[in-house]
Structure 1
Amino acid sequence: MLVYAQKTLTAKHAEISFFSNAPLEDIQAISKTAASALNLSTGDIVFKVRNTSFEFDKKLMQEHFNENYMESDKYPLSEFKGKIDEPQKLNKNGTYVVDVSGTLLIHGVTKLYQTKAKIIVKDNILSATCRFNVKLADHKIKIPSIVGRNIAEVVNIEISASYKPQ
């Protein structure tokens, strides 16, 4: 059994990426500077990422993302606040699939999400990964009709984080 001196673990360089598959062009971006905290007693989990930290292959895509879609000046952060079911089972080495539910705040709009996460516990480090989809319209992100075939209405999100005791 693992013993954590503190019940809160942090991930200071969590990765969040997204992928948009559209008929004319695939778009993907990644941020490697998201922050997260996980309370092993309560199962509370939080992720925060600066929208401007997402990096794209094309500079123009990054500009459009921040200026036209995310309006990063107005909405600088995206945030997930939720709970992991049965956090007490994460106290020993092993691989676990857990249910995660909570609210995702993107573009000033909060929406409830539920997904599964894979957590690997090894020697006081928890590595977590999960995937889920976000419908842009649910967060009032508008896609101009002129580029409608370039951007998917639903974006695939992937998250990975390595948690260590504070």
Structure 2
Amino acid sequence: MNKLVIMLLLPFLIDQPPTERVIARQGKVSFFSYTSVEHIKAENNQVFSIIDLDSGEIAVSMLMNAFVFEKALMREHFNESYVESDIYPKATFKGKIVDFDPNMEEVQTRIVKGVFKMHGATKELEIKTKIEKTGNDFVITGTFEAMVKDYNIKIPPLLRGNIAKTISIDFNFKYEPYES
């Protein structure tokens, strides 16, 4: 039976051109919270992303407990009280780069539209990005703002002055050809 299914599907599989993908195994995401009381910044260098060059589809996945802070106590509060990384261990983004041309050698400024999931909440985003191509490699960078309330993150009244309502998020991904 399995051989019959394979034989029936084989012509369809052969006619499909292989999709070309690029991968970033150690992308970087950082965030910054500015208030008059305290500045909080953190960086995560363990972010995974992949792009299908044929369709422009992009996916990003990051472990929330991989963010590194200036102070250990900030990291503890971030993981235990705010993003609850034991319950919500990762954040993901799935979307598409609008009008992406993987053959263009000059810098492209493009919009990435997609869905960002974090802390059990889902938000549609449109992010302006800069895409640079060098040979077969791509570097994608950008910045966007995230409102804490959009992701169901509860800030105790005593600490509301220490954490901004809007967080600035920067990303930098270097993609290389994906070899399966």
Length-normalised TM-score, structure 1: 0.95
Counterpart in the other structure of 1:47: 60
The answer to which structure has the higher strand fraction is 1
CA distance in 2, matches of 1:115, 1:78: 16
CA distance in 2, matches of 1:91, 1:141: 41
Give how far 1:111 is off.
0.6
2:145 matches 1:107: no
Per mean C-alpha deviation after superposition, the further-off stretch among 91-100 and 55-64 is: 91-100
CA distance in 1, matches of 2:19, 2:26: 20
CA RMSD of aligned residues (A): 1.0
Give how far 1:115 is off.
1.4
Q: Secondary structure at the match of 2:163?
A: coil
Q: Would the aligned equivalents of 1:30 and 1:56 in 2 still touch at CA under 8 Å?
A: yes
CA distance in 1, matches of 2:172, 2:34: 21
Counterpart in the other structure of 2:93: 80
Select 2:47's aligned residue among 6, 15, 34. Answer: 34
2:122 matches 1:122: no
Where in structure 2 are the equivalents of 1:1-166 lying within 5 Å? 7-87=20-100, 89-166=101-178
- Identity across matched positions, percent: 35
**Which 4+ residue blocks in structure 1 deviate beyond 3 angstroms?**
none
CA distance in 2, matches of 1:24, 1:133: 20
> Counterpart of 1:8 in structure 2: which amino acid?
R
> Counterpart of 1:75 in structure 2: which amino acid?
Y
> Counterpart of 1:82 in structure 2: which amino acid?
G
With CA pairs under 8 Å and 6+ residues apart, which has the higher RCO, 1 or 2? 1
Q: Would the aligned equivalents of 1:103 and 1:112 in 2 still touch at CA under 8 Å?
A: yes
Q: Would the aligned equivalents of 2:32 and 2:40 in 1 still touch at CA under 8 Å?
A: yes
Give how far 1:6 is off.
5.3
Length-normalised TM-score, structure 2: 0.87
CA distance in 2, matches of 1:92, 1:7: 15
Q: Mark the runs of 5 or more structure 1 residues left unpaired by the alignment.
A: none
Q: Secondary structure at the match of 2:154?
A: coil
Larger Rg: 2
